[in-house]
Structure formats: structure tokens, C-alpha cells
């Protein structure tokens, strides 16, 4: 479990996070949502250790990040997988080389062992025989699947995804959503997704954290989101006619 307690983060005079507390459990897809400027990205970067909060505690299965030694933080970093918004693949490296990169950085495996692991995760994301292709030769959806393969190649305990569906068509986005959820359940990992895609939130949001102006304004499941009367959530999520009609239909069915 990842436990966050009273997290504060500022940049100069601007207070971005103002006492956020929550927990993230294994085997669940956890979503962080909110308007631009709500603190989503800063919150995710604090969890990753890229930002140091002025106040608050982040615990990874009981390990307080601020109390870890350099060696322990390196070990924790090895337990994290990250899917970046744009994929962040190295254009000059093949698919195989991109996925193998974390193995070269963090392990002492021989090449044959690394290649076995690369092929295993490529098979898991349904990209068999794509080893020698370069990112430019792949579609956007395939690039995201390579990014997911790279993120899980170290068999992480924690998977972080920043807008994984950015730039994808709805059908491909659904495929990526399903893949992330399957991997989360299959490997019993903690997955945290920063997203603007409300389709994703409604489909795979087993736990949703809604940030507003740096404060946790609401949390719950996608089913609970349909029923909530929280004004900030209703205004943000159900601003579109489609989602408003879906919500109304759901509420009518459950009366």
C-alpha cells in the first residue's frame, strides 16, 4: 500500500498541494483527476520522488520515503514503473533496446536473460516480433504498448501512468485502459494514473482521487462517482451532455 499523509508542496509563493492525504491499494487502478492546475502532476511527481514536499509523509508498504537511505531509495526506484504522457521512447533505439534500457541500468543480467524478459513483456502487451522496429515505425497505440512493456520489464510493485491515453483514438484508448487494468490485477501491483480522460475514469477507475485547487475534494470508486452529490465533482465530470445523461440513466436504474 502507498499511504500519503498531509502532503504539502509549494513553488515560491504558490501553494500547489495543501494537505493531501489518501491511500492506494494493490491490485487496483487508482485515478487522479482534476482541472489543469489542480495539482495532479505535482502530486504524481511527489509520489515518484521527483519533487520533495515541504510537509507530509509518503509511505511505500511502510517505508517512509524521507527516511530512506540513498541505497534504499535506489531499491525503491527499481520497484517503480513509469508510463510517460508521450511514451518517452528513445527514437534512436529499437523497441527491444528501449525495453531493455531499465534492465541495463538496474540489473546485472546477461544479455540472453534480458532478452528473455524483453520478449516476455512484448508478448504480454501483444507486440510479438516487434523487437527490431524503431518507434517511428509504430502507431501511437503500439508506442504506448511499448512504453507499458518497458514500465513492467522490471516487474514493478508500483506502476505510474501520466495521461497514458493522450493522443489516442477512443478505440485504441480503450485497449490501453484494458491492458493497464489487466496487468494491475494479474501482477497485483499498485497502479496510479493521472488522467483527463473521463472515459478511462468511468471504465477502470476503481479508486478516484479528485483534486481541486491543491486539495482532495472527493475520493471514491467510479460507481460512487455516478451517485455523488459533491458539487465540484458533478460540475467537473458531468459538464458534457453525454456523461450527464449516463449519470441520469444510472441513477434512474438504481432507484
The DSSP annotation for 199-211 comes to HHHHHH-SEEEEE
Question: Average pLDDT of the chain?
Answer: 91
- For residues 2 and 37, the model is more confident at 2
Three-state DSSP class for 118? helix
8 A C-beta contact, residue 186 and residue 127: no
118 and 20 in a common domain: no
In a domain, 238, yes or no: no
Residue 102 banded pLDDT, cuts 50, 70, 90: very high
Mean pLDDT value across residues 232-243: 75
Q: How many domains does the chain have?
A: 2
Is the residue at 239 inside a domain?
no
Find out whether 215 and 19 touch, Cβ atoms under 8 Å.
yes
Same domain, 134 and 114: yes
| Amino acid 251: pLDDT | 66
Same domain, 144 and 166: no
Has residue 30 been placed in a domain?
yes
Alpha-carbon distances of 109 from 68, 78, 100, 120, rounded to whole Å: 26, 14, 11, 15
CATH code of the domain containing 196: 3.40.50.300
14 by DSSP, 3-state: which? strand
What percent of the chain stands above pLDDT 70? 94
pLDDT recorded at residue 191: 97
Residue where a domain terminates, one of 109, 132, 155: 155
Q: Taking 80 as the threshold, does the pLDDT of residue 244 lie above it? A: no
**75 shares its domain with 165:** yes
The answer to whether residues 38 and 64 belong to one domain is: yes
Residue 243's pLDDT is what? Answer: 65
Range of the domain at 192: 1-79+156-220
CA distance 232 to 87: 31
Task: Give the pLDDT confidence score for residue 241 in this predicted structure.
Answer: 61
Identify the weakest region by mean pLDDT among 68-72, 110-114, 115-119, 236-240: 236-240
Residue 209 pLDDT more than 70? yes
Task: Tell me: pLDDT of 85 over 90.
Answer: no
pLDDT of residue 19: 97
Q: Is the pLDDT of residue 227 over 90?
A: no
Q: Looking at the domain assignment, is residue 232 inside a domain?
A: no
Amino acid at each position: 500500500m502507498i499511504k500519503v499523509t498531509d502532503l504539502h508542496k509549494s513553488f515560491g509563493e504558490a501553494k500547489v498541494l495543501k494537505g493531501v492525504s489518501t491511500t492506494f491499494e494493490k491490485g487496483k487502478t487508482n485515478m487522479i483527476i482534476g482541472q489543469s492546475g489542480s495539482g495532479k502532476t505535482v502530486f504524481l511527481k511527489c509520489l515518484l520522488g521527483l519533487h520533495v514536499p515541504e510537509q507530509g509523509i509518503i509511505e511505500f508498504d511502510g517505508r517512509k520515503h524521507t527516511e530512506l537511505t540513498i541505497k534504499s531509495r535506489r531499491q525503491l526506484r527499481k520497484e517503480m514503473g513509469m508510463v510517460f504522457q508521450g511514451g518517452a521512447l528513445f527514437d534512436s533505439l529499437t523497441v527491444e533496446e528501449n525495453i531493455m534500457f531499465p534492465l541495463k541500468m538496474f540489473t546485472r543480467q546477461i544479455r540472453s536473460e534480458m532478452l528473455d524478459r524483453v520478449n516476455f513483456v512484448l508478448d504480454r502487451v501483444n507486440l510479438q516480433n516487434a523487437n527490431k522496429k524503431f518507434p517511428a515505425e509504430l502507431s501511437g497505440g503500439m508506442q504506448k504498448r511499448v512504453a507499458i512493456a518497458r514500465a513492467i520489464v522490471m516487474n514493478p510493485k508500483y506502476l505510474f501512468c501520466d495521461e497514458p491515453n493522450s493522443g489516442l483514438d477512443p478505440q485504441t484508448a480503450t485497449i490501453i485502459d484494458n491492458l493497464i487494468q489487466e496487468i494491475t490485477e494479474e501482477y497485483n501491483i499498485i497502479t496510479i494514473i493521472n488522467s483527463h480522460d473521463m472515459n478511462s475514469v468511468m471504465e477502470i477507475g476503481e479508486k478516484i482521487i479528485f483534486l481541486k485547487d491543491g486539495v482532495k475534494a472527493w475520493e471514491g470508486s467510479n460507481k460512487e462517482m455516478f451517485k455523488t452529490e459533491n458539487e465540484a465533482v458533478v460540475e467537473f465530470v458531468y459538464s458534457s451532455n453525454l456523461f450527464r445523461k449516463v449519470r441520469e440513466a444510472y441513477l434512474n436504474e438504481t432507484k
